[in-house]
C-alpha cells in the first residue's frame, strides 16, 4: 500500500502513518509494530479519538489497545521534569524574600 503524505503537516503525517499501519494490524513486522507504537506516543488525544471513530479502524484499534495499551502510553516523566523546576524555584524565592 503506497500512501502519499505530501502537503500534510507533521501531525497529520503521523496520524496517516499510524492509520495505515493499524489497518494491517496484527500482520505487522516487529519494525512496523515498533513504528506504530512510536506514532501512537506522538498522537494527540484528538487524533486518537478521530481514529477510534473510524468504523474501519476502530476494531483494529481496540485489538491493538488490548495487546499493546501499556506500551503506547505517552511518557510523562519528561514533561513533569521540565515543568516542575519553575514553581519550585519561585517557591524558594518567595520563602527567601519573606524571611
In a domain, 25, yes or no: yes
Task: Please report the pLDDT score of residue 3 as a whole number.
Answer: 54
In a domain, 5, yes or no: no
Q: Cα(63)–Cα(2) distance, rounded to whole angstroms?
A: 24
Number of folded domains in the chain? Answer: 1
DSSP state of 51: H
In a domain, 18, yes or no: yes
pLDDT digits (tens, 9 = 90+) for 54-89: 888 888 888 888 887 755 555 556 666 777 788 899
Q: Give 96's pLDDT tier (boundaries 50, 70, 90).
A: very high
In a domain, 4, yes or no: no
- Compute the residue count for the chain: 99
Task: Please report the pLDDT score of residue 38 as a whole number.
Answer: 84
Q: Which three cell numbers stand for residue 64?
A: 491493538
Give the residue among 33, 31, 9 at the shortest CA–CA distance from 21.
Answer: 33
pLDDT digits (tens, 9 = 90+) for 2-48: 555 454 577 778 888 888 888 888 888 999 988 888 888 888 778 88
Q: Cα(14)–Cα(47) distance, rounded to whole angstroms?
A: 10
In a domain, 71, yes or no: yes
Say what the pTM is.
0.56
In a domain, 42, yes or no: yes
User: The domain containing residue 31 runs over which residues?
Assistant: 10-98
Half-sphere exposure for 63 (CA within 13 Å, toward CB): 11
Amino acid at each position: 500500500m503506497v500512501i502519499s503524505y505530501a502537503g500534510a503537516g507533521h501531525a497529520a503525517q503521523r496520524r496517516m502513518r499510524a492509520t495505515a499501519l493499524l489497518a494491517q494490524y496484527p500482520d505487522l513486522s516487529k519494525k512496523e509494530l515498533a513504528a506504530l507504537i512510536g506514532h501512537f506516543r506522538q498522537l494527540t488525544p484528538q487524533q486518537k479519538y478521530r481514529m477510534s471513530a473510524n468504523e474501519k479502524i476502530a476494531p483494529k484499534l481496540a485489538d491493538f489497545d488490548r495487546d499493546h495499551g501499556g506500551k503506547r502510553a505517552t511518557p510523562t516523566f519528561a514533561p513533569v521534569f521540565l515543568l516542575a523546576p519553575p514553581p519550585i524555584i519561585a517557591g524558594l524565592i518567595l520563602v527567601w524574600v519573606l524571611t
